[in-house]
Homo-oligomer: A and B are copies of this chain.
Amino acid sequence: MVEPVFVHEKNPEAVENVCAVLKDRFGERFATGQAMREQHGHTTTWLSNQVPDGVVFAQSAQEVSDIVKLCAEHDVPIIPFGTGSSLEGHLNAPYGGISIDVSQMNEILEVHAEDLTCRVGAGVTRKQLNDYLRDTGLFFPIDPGADASIGGMAATRASGTNAVRYGTMKDTVLSLTVVMPDGSIVRTASRAKKSSAGYDLTRLLVGSEGTLGIICDVTLKLSGIPQAIAGGICNFPDLESACHAVIMTIQCGIPVARIELLDPLQVKACNDYSKLSLKERPTLFVEFHGSKASVSEQSALFADIVADSGGEDFTWTTKAEARTELWSARHDAYWAAHSLRPGAKGLSTDVCVPISRLAECVTETQKDLEEFGFIAPIVGHVGDGNFHVLLLLDPEKPEEHDQAEIFLERLAMRAIDMGGTCTGEHGVGQGKMKYMAYEHGAGLDVMAAIKRAIDPQNIMNPGKILPKVE
C-alpha cells in the first residue's frame, strides 16, 4: 500500500470532545454505534473497512459549516458521505474522524425549466431527481450504475453509459455550494451557462473526492427528454471490428447517446442469467436520441457502419418495451456477471484510453486475465474509450486477492502507457492512489500544493487521492 501524502495523527481526546459537542447539538442525528460506523466506512469496495468515530446527519450547509469549524478547531478528520456507492475506499476513515452524511440534504431546491437548469441538495439521488423532473420534459442524463447522490457523483466526477453524448459531471455541473475546510460557505460559480470570470472553482471541486471541501448543493444542466429513442444491438467477429465500428460512428458525427461493448464472456453470462441466445461474440448495444426522423437516420447510418465493419445481426427499435428487451442483457450485465461464479465477490475496476487504443488495451487485458485464470467479464462505455473489468474473486482465497492487485496494477499502467488514465469514472480514493505519480508526474506536486493551501490542517478526507512522493 502506498502511503498517502497527507496522513493525520489520531487524537482520541480531541475526537471525544468533538463527539460530545455533536451529541449535544444533534441528538439522534449523531450516531456512534458500531453498525452505523461500519456502514459509513464500508462501501462497495474491495478495500477493508476503516470506520469513522461518529456519523452526523447534516440538514443544511450551515450545519455542515458548524461541524467543519468544530472539527477544524479540534483537528479532527471529516469524511463526507452521500449514498456509499463509491468503489475505491473513498469513504474509509484511516485516521478516524467524523463522517458527515448528507443524505438528508435531499431537497430539489430550484428548477429553472427555461434555462434547463436545477439546483439540488447534495443528498438528492439521480433517480429521485429524474422522478421529480418527469413532468417537465427534462431529465438529468448522467447514470453511473448505482442510484448515487448528486453530491457524491460531483465529488467523484462520475459518468456512465451516456457520457458519450451528454458528458460527465465535469460537463453537467454548473455550480456548487461548498463548505471549505475553514467552515466558509462558497458558491463556486453563477448559474450562467458559461463564464470567464476567474479560476474554475467548480471544476476544481468536481472530482476532488471530499479532500478540498464538502459539497452541499449542486446546480446542474438538464437535457430535454428526446422525442424518440431507438435501441439497437449487433455483434462482431472480433474486438477490433467492434471498436472500428465505434470509431466510425463517432467520426461520422452520429450523435450516439449510448454505445456499450460486452465481451463474449459477459454475453455468455447474460445468456445464462436471462435465458437469452445471443451469439457469444463482442457485442455492441447502441441507443440514439432525437426526433423520430433523426433516430431512424442515425440507426440506418449505424447499420451501414456495422456492415462495413463486419458486424452482424443488427436489430433496432424505437418501441419502449421492445427496446428494454433488446437491451436486457446490458441492463442485467452486473448481476449476470456475478452468476458466473456463485459465491464470488466482484471487484470492479475501470480505466480509460484514447479510443484508437481501445481494442489493443482490451485484448491485452483479456490475455492477462487468461494468464491469471480469472473469471472477469468486460463491459465498456466504448464511445469514450472507457471500460470496466469485474474480477470475480473467492473471498475465502486471499491469494486471489493478491493476484488481483498485480492484475490491477498492470491494467492501470497499461492504460496510462497508452495515453489514457487509471480511472475514467470510478475515482482514486485509496485504491488508485498508487498510480497517481506515474500518471501525473510533476502535476502531482501541483495537486499537493493546492491541497496544502486549501486544507492546511489536512482534515478533509485525509488519506485519499494524493500519495506520498519523496
- Residue numbers of A with Cβ under 8 A of B are 112-117, 137, 156-159, 163, 167-168, 170-171, 180, 184-201, 203-204, 206-208, 212, 223-224, 226-227, 247, 250-253, 255, 290-291, 293-294, 297, 301, 352-356, 384-386, 415-416, 419-428, 432, 435-436, 439-447, 449-454, 465-466
- Cβ-defined contact, A203 with B291, below 8 A: no
The 7 closest A-B pairs by CB, nearest first: A453-B453, A203-B203, A224-B253, A195-B421, A114-B356, A192-B420, A192-B352
- Cβ-defined contact, B450 with A192, below 8 A: no
Question: Shortest distance in angstroms between A49's beta carbon and chain B's nearest beta carbon?
Answer: 22
Excluding A114-B247, A192-B384, 18 further A-B contacts by CB distance (< 8 Å) are: A114-B251, A114-B356, A171-B171, A193-B385, A194-B384, A197-B440, A198-B440, A198-B466, A199-B450, A199-B451, A200-B207, A224-B252, A226-B253, A255-B255, A293-B294, A293-B297, A449-B454, A450-B450
Question: Shortest distance in angstroms between A254's beta carbon and chain B's nearest beta carbon?
Answer: 9
Question: Shortest distance in angstroms between A46's beta carbon and chain B's nearest beta carbon?
Answer: 17
Copies of the chain in the assembly:
2
- Cβ-defined contact, B200 with A442, below 8 A: no
Q: Return chain B residues, CB-CB under 8 Å to A157.
A: 195-196, 200
Q: Return chain B residues, CB-CB under 8 Å to A195.
A: 157, 352, 421, 423-424
- Cβ-defined contact, B352 with A184, below 8 A: no
Q: Which residue of B lies closest to A170 (CB)?
A: B200
Q: Return chain B residues, CB-CB under 8 Å to A355.
A: 114-115, 193
Q: Return chain B residues, CB-CB under 8 Å to A187.
A: 440-441, 443
- Cβ-defined contact, B443 with A454, below 8 A: no
The CA-CA distance from A324 to B423 in the complex, in Å, is 45
- Cβ-defined contact, B443 with A450, below 8 A: no
Q: Which residue of B lies closest to A203 (CB)?
A: B203
Q: Return chain B residues, CB-CB under 8 Å to A115.
A: 354-356, 385
The CA-CA distance from A440 to B201 in the complex, in Å, is 10
Q: Return chain B residues, CB-CB under 8 Å to A208.
A: 199
Question: Shortest distance in angstroms between A3's beta carbon and chain B's nearest beta carbon?
Answer: 17
Q: Return chain B residues, CB-CB under 8 Å to A112.
A: 354, 356
Q: Which residue of B lies closest to A439 (CB)?
A: B197
The CA-CA distance from A185 to B116 in the complex, in Å, is 40
The CA-CA distance from A168 to B203 in the complex, in Å, is 14
A-B contact pairs, 15 of them (CB 8 A): A114-B354, A170-B203, A171-B171, A192-B385, A192-B421, A196-B424, A197-B427, A198-B440, A198-B444, A199-B204, A204-B450, A224-B253, A293-B297, A449-B454, A450-B453
Question: Shortest distance in angstroms between A99's beta carbon and chain B's nearest beta carbon?
Answer: 21
Q: Which residue of B lies closest to A243 (CB)?
A: B114
The CA-CA distance from A180 to B440 in the complex, in Å, is 14
The CA-CA distance from A453 to B212 in the complex, in Å, is 14
The CA-CA distance from A156 to B199 in the complex, in Å, is 10
The CA-CA distance from A192 to B170 in the complex, in Å, is 14
Q: Which residue of B lies closest to A159 (CB)?
A: B194
Q: Return chain B residues, CB-CB under 8 Å to A294.
A: 293-294, 297
Q: Which residue of B lies closest to A294 (CB)?
A: B294
The CA-CA distance from A420 to B157 in the complex, in Å, is 24
Q: Return chain B residues, CB-CB under 8 Å to A420.
A: 190-192
- Cβ-defined contact, A428 with B255, below 8 A: no
Q: Return chain B residues, CB-CB under 8 Å to A422.
A: 197
Question: Shortest distance in angstroms between A163's beta carbon and chain B's nearest beta carbon?
Answer: 6
Contact with A436, one of B163, B167, B198, B201 (Cβ below 8 angstroms): B198
Contact with A424, one of B194, B415, B446 (Cβ below 8 angstroms): B194
Q: Which residue of B lies closest to A163 (CB)?
A: B194
The CA-CA distance from A293 to B291 in the complex, in Å, is 11
Q: Which residue of B lies closest to A436 (CB)?
A: B198
Q: Return chain B residues, CB-CB under 8 Å to A443.
A: 186-188, 201
- Cβ-defined contact, A352 with B198, below 8 A: no
Most B CB contacts (10 A, CB to CB) among A190, A201, A424, A445 go to A190
Q: Which residue of B lies closest to A296 (CB)?
A: B293
The CA-CA distance from A9 to B197 in the complex, in Å, is 26
The CA-CA distance from A421 to B198 in the complex, in Å, is 10
- Cβ-defined contact, B117 with A354, below 8 A: yes
Q: Which residue of B lies closest to A420 (CB)?
A: B192
The CA-CA distance from A201 to B203 in the complex, in Å, is 9
The CA-CA distance from A55 to B193 in the complex, in Å, is 37
The CA-CA distance from A12 to B23 in the complex, in Å, is 61
- Cβ-defined contact, B419 with A191, below 8 A: yes
The CA-CA distance from A353 to B158 in the complex, in Å, is 27
